[in-house]
Every structure is written in structure tokens, then in C-alpha cells.
Structure 1
Amino acid sequence: MDHRTLIAALPAETKFALMARSDSAGLRHLGVYGLALAVGTIGILLLVPLWPLLILPQGLFLVFLFTLSHECTHQTPFKTRWLNEVVGHACALPIALPFIWFRYFHLAHHKWTNDPKRDPELAGKPRPDSWPSLLAYLSGWFYWRAMAQVLVRNAFGRFDAPYLPQRQYAVMQREARFLLGIYALAALSLLVTPALFWVWILPVLIGQPFLRLYLLAEHGLCPPVADMLENSRTTFTTRAVRFLAWNMPYHAEHHAFPNVPFHKLPEFHTLTRAYLKSTSEGYSGFATTYARAMNHDPIHPSSG
């Protein structure tokens, strides 16, 4: 059974219930998430005992704002539309991910998931297929470079991606200029105090490899087929990781039915688990499988 057949087979009342969005569920999750970030930030700034140990969790909570931004592009974390917009834009600042641009990039990814030529996440290139390319990918270098290029191009009005609507060019240009202005001020602040280096810059650099591995598991080694239950991977992991990633380890479920909000994905998973075709037991399990595939069978776009 493919994802279209599965969704079509669901009773209308079940689909309606699965799509129910909730401000309270989203705000509760965001509140705990924000509290964790606040504790880390205050602890680092106050130099509490063993404060360097806070840098890694601080980095994880910062870089995994990517998953919240991703959910906001779908308008699913909150029932109220403006909450999704405000939170999505707020997520852009610490991870240099312009929200309006990312919305169209991500919609194209959903339309052409794992298609080697049309999925913008692949951009016509294979996933890491050697140890040097994997290490470079995990470092986050390609991400930071790509986002810098996107921000500069957008700021100068140089839009050439086919998935970006012309009606949004001016908005995306203002968005990029605003973010670049904020980053310029942040750079200047480092001449006065290193605070942002310790609570933001160093943590996101340290946290990025963990996010890269998480993202590689979403579609890595999955075939370039139309069935979302096969071209996307669900990773069975801990509640802590699911919390950090806003339940996006249920990734095949998310691609099969993107209108299901994060807090309903565990429920949807119970309906889809028997039909999932690409799964992994934890991220260490996926990493082991990926390493074996890379060592014994070169990874090309045609094999995910």
C-alpha cells in the first residue's frame, strides 16, 4: 500500500481528527523548549559551575529550531496562523534560515521528494558517498555556505530557483536584508563582549553535526520513488529526541500526510507503522547502515 491509498482509506472523521491543530499543544511544547534555551543561555552568561557543559545542549536546542521552522512552513504547530508566522520568522535568526524563502524551498521538496533532479534538497547532487564528503556534510560547512549565498542573493534580488514565486521576490529581499543587518550588528557586538559567541555562535557550530545526521536519516538510502512511505524514513528513537525534533522522526508519516500537526503524528504513526517501508532503529543504527552502504556500495542519486 502506498501513501495515497493509505490516506484515501482513512475514514473522513479520522482524517479530520488527525488534522486538528492546537494552540495549547504548540505553546506547551514551545514553552518547555524555550525554557531549556533560557536555562542554557542564563547558565552560560552567568558562568555557573561547569558552564561549558551547557554549550552542547544549548547548540542542540538552537539548531533543532530548524524542525520548528519546518513545521511552521506547514502552518501546523499552532492553530492560529499568525503564531506560526511569528515563530517561523523568529526561528530564522539563530539558524540563518530565511523563513519565507524556506517555505517555498520546502514545499518543492515535498512535491519532488528524493527526486535526484528536482528535489531542491539534493540540487542534482548525490548525498555523501565517501568519508571525506560525509565529514564535510556533518560539519555543517555546506549548510552555512549555502545559507550565506541564499541571503546575499536574495538581498540583491537575484532569484532564479523555479519554485520561488515572483510575487514574493520583494518580500524575500526585505527578509534577507533584515537578517543580514541583524548579523552585522551581532558581529559588531563581539567587539564589545563575547557573549553571543558563547551562547549562540559556538553552540550552533557544535550542534550542527547532530542536526545533519538527523536530516540525513530522513531520506538517505531511501529510493527515488513517489511513495512517501518508501522515499522517507521513520526513525524509532527516544522521547527526548522526538521532543527536540517536534516529532519529525515520524518522517514518513509527515510526508504521507503533511497536514497532520506534530502532536498528532504519534497517533498517525499507529495507523501507518505496518505500511512503512524505510525505517531505522535509532540514529546510531541508521549511521551504521549508512557507513556500511558507503563502504561497500557507492551511494548515487538513483539509490537515495
Structure 2
Amino acid sequence: MLTNTTPAVEVRPLPRQPRQILSAAALATLNQRSNWAGARQFLGHLAVMSISGYLWATAPLGLALPALVIYGASLALMFCAMHECCHRTAFANPRLNDGAAWLAGLLSFYNSTFYRRYHKWHHRYTQIPGKDPELEDDKPTSLSNYAWQMSGISWWIGKVRSHSKVALRQLDGLYYLPESSHAEVVRSVQLQLLTYAAVVVVSTLLGQPWFLFTYWVLPLAVGQPLLRVVLLAEHTGCPNDANPLINTRTTLTLWPLRWLMWNMPYHAEHHLYPSIPFQALPAAHGQLKPYFACIDAGYVRAHRSIAADFS
């Protein structure tokens, strides 16, 4: 739905060259990357995950269940950390970006080596049918299908199939993976799956055969619907058009969620200028918001707009 639903925002006429809205000087200021900012955010995210995970494992049921929800959300939203690091904007040091991306992908059941190539294609051809790989994912067309996708079950099925195919070197149809990357992507996925297997073996030998399910699969399943809500709002209902001012939605949300999402709700700003690191996106939003066609005040409102298009 192509409407700006944020009050008191004057939408200006769309410029012919959207990526020239910011001056070179303004963009250079926003583009400053910082190892300190990345480390503070990544360690803070890990701290939320660790504390809530510890409470899930040790606290009485009345406290353990809320902790499970927070723990699951922090696990699932490790996707956002991986996304930022795959852009190599979370840290100034490329090796820190790549290492943190792989760990975040391991925790969220994504693979950063694969995702970096996939996501690069998505940015290059955003909302262009036949070229944007994200458009190959089913979009909800009814309330029942919407509920199915929000459950995360279809995501689990897709991820198990995708990781298995890549690990077995079945890369046909993955046009966004250049041939030069095949060996690296296969090794990375194989190492990730071996890591999960090693956790199962070690925990079983230590007398905890259900460790991976209890402290990873179950919490991640609990948190996955939140990530589905976030990701579906990014482009669904926006036009299939190359113009970054109209093909992506920014969603204004509460600070705790925005922090745990590495400022990904400022998604239109991110797509317009992918070089801007997460900590500068709020400032970028302040400068760019009059130009965007789709800004929603919260995920509830964004999903109401999406559901309004169901047949």
C-alpha cells in the first residue's frame, strides 16, 4: 500500500536521482563506521540473549516463560546483526564484520556466506520481478496463509531444505551465487551444520541429549514469528519498481525493538543508502523521511495495510 501513514510528515515530490538527495559531505558523515559502535551493539545483543537464556534455564516457571520469549526474540533477531555485518557496516574492520556475521548466522539459522551474495542481488534488483530473489518467497494472499507464514513453520522447512542442498553442492538455480563463490559457500554451510552436529554429540555425551532443542530450536521457534513480522513489512505492499523511495517501507517502532533489530526498521533509509551503518540510520531518517512514500507508525499498522490487500 503506497501511502505515508506517519503524521506530520510532508512528502516531497520524488527526485529524479534519489541517491543524490544527500550531499557528498552529509553522506560521508553518516557513512562513518566504528569498531566500538559495532562491538557495543553486538556484545549488548549477546548479553540480552545470555541473560534471558540463563533465566530460561534456571528460573521458576513464572519468570522462565517471559525469559523464553525474550531469549527467543534475541536469537531470531540475530538475523539483524548478521544482515548488518554482511553489509560490512557494523564494524570498521572487515574481518570483524565477517566473523560476527558468521556467528550471528549460526545463532539465527542463517548462513552469512550464502546470505551475503543473496542479499547483494536483492539490493541490486529490489522489487524487480525475475531478478530480486526475495520476490521468489511466497507472499501471503489470505488470512490463513498469512497465519501459516507468521508461524515460521514454512521458514524452518525452507531453511532445512536450502542448507541441505547447498551442503550437498546442489546449487542449480541459485543465480545470485557467482561460480567463484561456490566452494566458499558450500564449506561455510557444511561447517555450520557440523557445528550443530558437534553440539548434539557433546551434549549427549554430557548427559544432555535435548540441549540443542531446549536451548536453541525451541527458543528460536518462539522468536521466529517476530522476525517474520519484521521481514514481511519491509517490502510487502510496496510497488514492484526500482525506485528506492517507493519500493521499501520504514516502520517506526519502540526503542527496545529497534535496538535489538540494529535499526533495521529504518529500512527505506537503508535501501536508499546501504553504506550507512546501523548507528547512523536514525539521523539519516531525520534527513530523508519527507522523501519516502511508505512510512508506517508501527508494525500493527504496517500489517493492517498488508492484510487490507488480501483477496
Which residue matches 2:214?
A: 198
Which residue matches 1:302?
A: none
Q: Indicate whether 1:166 and 2:182 are aligned.
A: no
Paired residues of 1:236 and 1:281 also in contact (CA < 8 A): yes
Question: Matched residues in 1 for 2:254 and 2:56: separation?
Answer: 27
Which residue matches 2:47?
A: 35
Secondary structure, counterpart of 2:246 in structure 1? helix
- After superposition, where does 1:44-55 map in structure 2 within 5 Å? 44-48=56-60, 50-55=63-68
Paired residues of 2:42 and 2:81 also in contact (CA < 8 A): no
Shift of 1:58: 0.2
1:21-78 deviations in whole A, cap 9, x for unaligned? 0111111112221111111122222235622221000000000011111111110011
Question: Matched residues in 2 for 1:225 and 1:18: separation?
Answer: 26
Which residue matches 2:244?
A: 228
TM-score computed with the length of structure 2 as normaliser: 0.89
1:270-303 deviations in whole A, cap 9, x for unaligned? 1111011011110011122222221xxx3xxxxx
Question: Matched residues in 2 for 1:232 and 1:121: separation?
Answer: 13
% same residue = 32
Question: Matched residues in 1 for 2:151 and 2:200: separation?
Answer: 22
Paired residues of 1:22 and 1:77 also in contact (CA < 8 A): yes
Q: 180-189 or 108-117: which moved more?
A: 180-189
Which residue matches 1:60?
A: 73
Q: 182-191 or 228-237: which moved more?
A: 182-191
Which residue matches 1:133?
A: 145
Q: Alignment partner for residue 13 of structure 1, among 2, 14, 25? A: 25
One-letter identity of the residue aligned with 1:233: R
Paired residues of 1:45 and 1:195 also in contact (CA < 8 A): no
Which residue matches 2:129?
A: 116
Which residue matches 1:246?
A: 262
Shift of 1:5: 2.2
Shift of 1:4: 6.8
Question: Matched residues in 1 for 2:42 and 2:192: separation?
Answer: 23
Which residue matches 1:184?
A: 197
Gaps of 5+ in 2: 1-12
Q: Indicate whether 1:269 and 2:246 are aligned.
A: no
Shift of 1:135: 1.4
Shift of 1:126: 4.7
Question: Matched residues in 2 for 1:126 and 1:59: separation?
Answer: 24
Shift of 1:187: 3.8
Which residue matches 2:96?
A: 83
Gaps of 5+ in 1: 299-304
Which residue matches 2:36?
A: 24
Which residue matches 2:6?
A: none
Q: Indicate whether 1:152 and 2:164 are aligned.
A: yes
Question: Matched residues in 1 for 2:127 and 2:226: separation?
Answer: 21
Secondary structure, counterpart of 1:225 in structure 2? coil
Which residue matches 1:278?
A: 294
Paired residues of 1:55 and 1:199 also in contact (CA < 8 A): no
Structure scoring higher RCO (CA < 8 A, sep ≥ 6) equals: 2
Paired residues of 2:31 and 2:275 also in contact (CA < 8 A): yes
One-letter identity of the residue aligned with 2:47: L
Cα 1:93/1:22, change in 2 over 3 Å: same
Paired residues of 1:237 and 1:249 also in contact (CA < 8 A): yes
- After superposition, where does 1:285-296 map in structure 2 within 5 Å? 285-294=301-310
Question: Matched residues in 2 for 1:172 and 1:3: separation?
Answer: 39
